Amino acid sequence: MVKVSEAALRGGEPRASTASDPRRADGPLAGVRVLELGSLIAGPFAGRQLADFGAEVIKIESPNRPDPMREWGRAHVNGHPLWWSVQSRGKKCVTLDLKSPRGRELFLELCREADVLLENFRPGTLENLGFAPEELWKANPGLIIARVSGYGQTGPDAQKPGYASVAEARGGLRYLNGYPDQAPPRTGISLGDSLASLYALQGILLALYWRDARGGTGQVVDVSLVEACFSLLESAVPDYAAAGIVPGPSGSGLKGIAPSNIFRSSDGKWVVIAANQDSVFVRLAAAMERPELASDARYSNHAARGVNQEALESLIAEWAAGYSHEELTAVLDRHSVPNSPVSSIEDIFADPQMRARGMLVEVPDEELGTVVQPGIVPRLTRSAGGIGWSGPLTPGSHNRAIYEGLLGLSDEELQTARDEGAI
């Protein structure tokens, strides 16, 4: 297995007042403190990425209703939820009841010490708890409040619940997916949540820069799952606005973009061949030992190949079927034609490129010793991120480190807060 480097695991020292694990990664966001509210995917995925790059992420869970992600995922080893280990890696976990008087006081104290509050509640939830942005800014004018929701904080549908599948449909992604005249399928992941998380991360970094480098103040980062999906529609907006074009699903390729599709090898493996650029198509024709195709008027340029897409891709399919997938990718590689087998996770674990790039890493785990997790994206050459530890198994694992170390509570005050149900 490819392992995290010793330096990455050891990292730099976290803030002395809250140090609880010497393995905490020290990256470009070291010194940034994030409070993470919410659950499951859209908010916590952004929190995970912040932690990967050195931010101190304090995940807040209800004492009675911990994040359901602790139970999600297909694989549990000895009752240990592996997805939780990934999604909450490098985070410090505390329990806090935001509805109790003492819990509310402690939350405001945490906000005074934080740079970022990250939440993915339904709009209005913070306000109903008495924590509207204007109230939080009274405690900390520099606080950046990142809010991830189905439809955003405003608009006629703001109060509607929104999940990834709903957002993918409403934002237009689902309409473009699949094959004509068939039910639009979903991808096998919560794509809408992950896209929104990436925009939340982007917005937090922009807001931090504006505050710290440009003399700005705290602000709200308002991320909608629907809008995150909509933002990926490429030319659909101008095409429809100007010409009334309504793009639809195009199966495994794109209409008018040829050749760029999947082709089946003799051993049944699907292989993507992408040679729609003129110069690349010349190389594909050479790989096929059919150089005359590149000068054939039907295929000699991008537009012509689009018109004659079906006939061209039939020729390529017949040729590809004469090779095993390893033979096919080898001949394409020799001619510098972009290609790849369609990889399963099993294929990825055997992929030397993924291993060379550190995309499969062993991370210390308090229950299992080590667990394999996805590596960090992107790679920074001079201020790389690192993975500190797997998601803590027990809710409130860092209560003492945070409430005593950061907020200065005594042992007696901490016990009183427990007795009152505040933590």
Active-site positions? Answer: 193
Residue 254 CB burial class (10 angstroms; 0-12, 13-18, ≥19): middle
Backbone angles phi, psi at 14, to 5 degrees: -70, 180
CA nearest 51: which of 68, 67, 85, 27?
A: 27
Residue 198, C-beta contacts closer than 8 angstroms, at least 6 positions apart: 46, 228
**In this structure, what DSSP letter does residue 402 have?**
I
**Strands 33-36, 116-119: parallel, antiparallel or unpaired by DSSP?**
parallel
Beta pairing partners, 33: 56
330 contacts: CB under 8 Å, gap ≥ 6: none
- Describe the strand order of the beta sheet including 260-264 as a list of residue ranges: 260-264, 270-274, 339-341
- Single-letter amino acid, residue 326: E
Instruction: Identify which of 308, 279, 397, 378 has the alpha carbon closest to the alpha carbon of residue 21.
Output: 397
Nearest 10 degrees: Cα torsion 224, 227, 228, 234:
-170
